[in-house]
């Protein structure tokens, strides 16, 4: 038997697995590295987060990714070269973390590498009759990660979801359901990343078919892009200070909210391909706000993110009360202007951080991919949410051996 297959068989039978989860989101701020000890599988999986670090991307790395990020036309040669380069970059980051943590690669069982999303194309967005399927593309080849670290690597998780009829996003519902369901309360887990999305979790032991997830619109992507464009050298509005100093412009907000995405039925997915600087520029032109102060533009974009979330939440729970407990994660959870806007639009909800649930908000997405790898190796295909959306019962992740 191939020794790596034998290793996987052993890991599947083991009571726990040590897995590194990797995540680099659409904000392009860096690589999240979460070293997890996962005990068991399926509902009742136990998490111990041993180490976590975010490794900031250099300006060179961000520039290379932006060369192809969310662009309809790119150099095929550049794309081909970037794919293994990112895999090697991520492998180097893992080895540096392990060295700093005094952990040998042989002490890690698996790597779960999300890769870098560079284009997300659900059919409702691309609307091409000659390609009637959803599609997505993540870069950072898993074979390079496995060979350079010497650790079995699972990657490219989203393709299986699409192959089975899903949209490839959001995948958080799977890990959220396994780690964060509670018998005491129903929960809404709100991720304020580049794109905002939430997962609804019924009480544990209740009807799992009612669990579901959906994107709600832009989270930080327009905020960050606007700051970068108008304040060279700044990557984002730290602590939401600029947005907090501005005033919401109702004309611009109305123009932004006029896009059909916000009225589309749930569940739905989107990406920075839609919510791009050109999306903002077109709304500014229609509303005559091209020369609005930066602070006012950011205040309006924070309001847009909050209204998108609130509309989606109220649409999802049109026939019942919204969950009383909303737990936030992602970069937007550090933006007081965005959180204040959310509280205004959902005043009946109690907002907290997933930190209070034992899952640090900044590490949550990397942890969730470690959970998906754990299920792929030791669990069963996960089935949730059949009552509201097509959430395929699948095991996700392509397996790369180090040799």
| pLDDT tens track for 297-316 | 999 999 999 999 999 999 99
For residue 56, what pLDDT band results from cuts at 50, 70 and 90?
very high
Give me the residue spans of the domains in the chain: 3-171+395-400, 182-357
Could you list the residues known to form a binding site, using ranges: 25-32
For domain 182-357, which CATH number applies: 3.90.380.10, 1.10.1740.10, 3.30.420.40, 3.40.50.300?
Answer: 3.30.420.40
Determine the length of the chain: 403
Q: For residues 291 and 230, give the distance between their C-alpha atoms in angstroms, rounded to a whole number.
A: 11
Mean per-residue pLDDT, 29-44: 96
Residue 387 reports pLDDT greater than 90: no
Q: Do domains 3-171+395-400 and 182-357 have the same CATH topology?
A: yes
Could you list the residues known to form a binding site for ATP, using ranges: 25-32
Q: Which CATH number describes the domain made up of 3-171+395-400?
A: 3.30.420.40
Q: Is 179 helix (H, G, I), strand (E, B) or coil?
A: helix
Closest residue by Cα to residue 191 from 165, 173, 210: 173
Mean per-residue pLDDT, 216-220: 97
Q: For residues 392 and 390, give the distance between their C-alpha atoms in angstroms, rounded to a whole number.
A: 6
Alpha-carbon separation of residue 171 from 38, 39, 167, 287, 377 (angstroms): 18, 21, 9, 36, 17
């Amino acid at each position: 038997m191939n020794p790596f297959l034998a290793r996987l068989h052993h890991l599947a039978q083991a009571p726990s697995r040590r897995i590194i989860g990797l995540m680099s989101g659409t904000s392009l701020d860096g690589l999240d590295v979460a070293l997890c000890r996962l005990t068991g599988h399926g509902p009742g999986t136990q998490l111990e987060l041993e180490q976590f670090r975010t490794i900031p991307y250099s300006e060179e790395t961000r520039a290379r990714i932006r060369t192809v990020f969310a662009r309809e036309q790119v150099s095929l040669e550049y794309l081909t070269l970037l794919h293994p380069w990112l895999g090697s970059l991520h492998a180097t980051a893992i080895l540096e973390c392990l060295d700093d943590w005094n952990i040998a690669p042989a002490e890690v069982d698996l790597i779960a590498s999300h890769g870098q999303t560079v284009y997300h194309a659900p059919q409702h967005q691309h609307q091409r009759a000659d390609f009637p399927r959803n599609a997505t593309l993540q870069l950072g080849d898993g074979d390079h990660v496995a060979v350079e670290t010497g650790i079995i690597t699972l990657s490219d998780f989203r393709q299986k979801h699409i192959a089975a009829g899903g949209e490839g996003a959001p995948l958080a519902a799977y890990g959220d359901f396994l780690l964060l369901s509670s018998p005491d309360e129903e929960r809404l887990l709100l991720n304020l990343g580049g794109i905002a999305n939430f997962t609804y979790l019924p009480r544990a032991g209740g009807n799992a078919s009612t669990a579901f997830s959906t994107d709600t619109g832009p989270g930080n992507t327009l905020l960050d892009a606007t700051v970068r464009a108008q304040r060279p050298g700044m990557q984002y509005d730290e602590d939401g200070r600029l947005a907090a100093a501005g005033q919401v412009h109702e004309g611009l907000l109305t123009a932004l909210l006029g896009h059909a995405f916000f009225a589309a039925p749930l569940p739905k997915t989107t990406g920075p391909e839609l919510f791009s600087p050109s999306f903002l520029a077109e709304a500014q032109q229609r509303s005559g706000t091209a020369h609005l102060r930066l602070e006012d533009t950011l205040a309006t974009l924070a309001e847009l993110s909050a209204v998108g979330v609130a509309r989606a939440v109220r649409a999802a729970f049109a026939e019942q009360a919204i969950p009383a407990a909303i737990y936030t994660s992602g970069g937007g959870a550090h933006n007081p202007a965005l959180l204040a806007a959310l509280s205004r639009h959902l005043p009946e909800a109690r907002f907290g951080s997933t930190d209070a649930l034992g899952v640090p908000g900044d590490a949550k997405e990397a942890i969730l991919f470690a959970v998906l790898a754990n299920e792929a190796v030791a669990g069963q295909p996960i089935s949730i949410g059949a009552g509201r959306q097509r959430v395929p019962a699948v095991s996700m992740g392509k397996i790369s051996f180090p040799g």
